[in-house]
Amino acid sequence: MDGAGKTTLADELGVLLQRAGRPVVRASVDGFHHPPSVRHRRGRDDPDGFYLDSYDYPRLRAELLDPFAPGRDRRHRIRIHDLAPDAPVVEPLRRARRDAVLLVDGIFLQRPELAGCFEFVVWLEAPFEVTYARLAARDGSPSDPGHPANRRYLEGQRRYLRECSPQECAHVVVDVTDVTAPVILRP
């Protein structure tokens, strides 16, 4: 979920892997946002639009995930859209070494469209009250998950939880309610 610590964890894992001698390709689903015309076609506050229209999953697969599948050439892009200016990004293809580890963070990654793309999945668990407080500190958004300004995100995330059961897809589930004392819940 937003505010769980996905990016922080992936960045820290990347550093550890590099220290161990493995090349790392770091990416986020946030680099594969749809343009605003698609993201907001159901309305800026629509939770279904958040869940269904935020990301370009076919391009995420084609340009980042599929190139890392066994036997593929690892020629990839780590982003196609930059949210800061909310504009497309055109970057040349990069080629990763055969021994490179692809670390991808983000929301909604255990959707059916991405089934089979990930060798190892970590789910970070924390109550919405905790994650929304983190988002408020980071982004200045309301800390109350029930605040009307959070409806799009909260209800979109609830739909994802209902439809995809991402915790069940994960190899490891970590309770990060207290980020200074994470607890492995599963396995």
Q: Which pLDDT score, from 0 to 100, does residue 126 have?
A: 97
Per-residue pLDDT of the chain (187 residues; tens, 9 = 90+): 999 999 999 999 999 999 999 999 999 999 999 999 999 999 999 999 999 999 999 999 999 999 999 999 999 999 999 999 999 999 999 999 999 999 999 999 999 999 999 999 999 999 999 999 999 999 999 999 999 999 999 999 999 999 999 999 899 999 999 999 999 999 8
> Are 96 and 65 spatial neighbours (Cβ–Cβ below 8 Å)?
no
Q: Which pLDDT score, from 0 to 100, does residue 43 have?
A: 95
b/e map 116-142, b = 16+ CB within 10 Å: ebbeeebbbbbebebbbbbbbeeeebe
Q: Which pLDDT score, from 0 to 100, does residue 106 have?
A: 97
Nearest 10 degrees: Cα torsion 111, 122, 187, 125: -90
Helix (H) or strand (E) holding 89: none
Residue 162: count of CB within 10 angstroms of its CB: 8
Q: Which pLDDT score, from 0 to 100, does residue 102 have?
A: 98
Q: What superfamily does domain 6-186 belong to in CATH?
A: P-loop containing nucleotide triphosphate hydrolases (3.40.50.300)
- Taken as a whole, the chain contains a residue count of 187
Separation between Cα atoms, residue 25 and residue 12, nearest integer Å: 13
What are the structural domain ranges in the chain? 6-186
Q: Which pLDDT score, from 0 to 100, does residue 173 have?
A: 97
Q: Which pLDDT score, from 0 to 100, does residue 105 have?
A: 98
Q: Which pLDDT score, from 0 to 100, does residue 128 have?
A: 97
Whether this model's pTM surpasses 0.85: yes
Q: Which pLDDT score, from 0 to 100, does residue 116 have?
A: 92
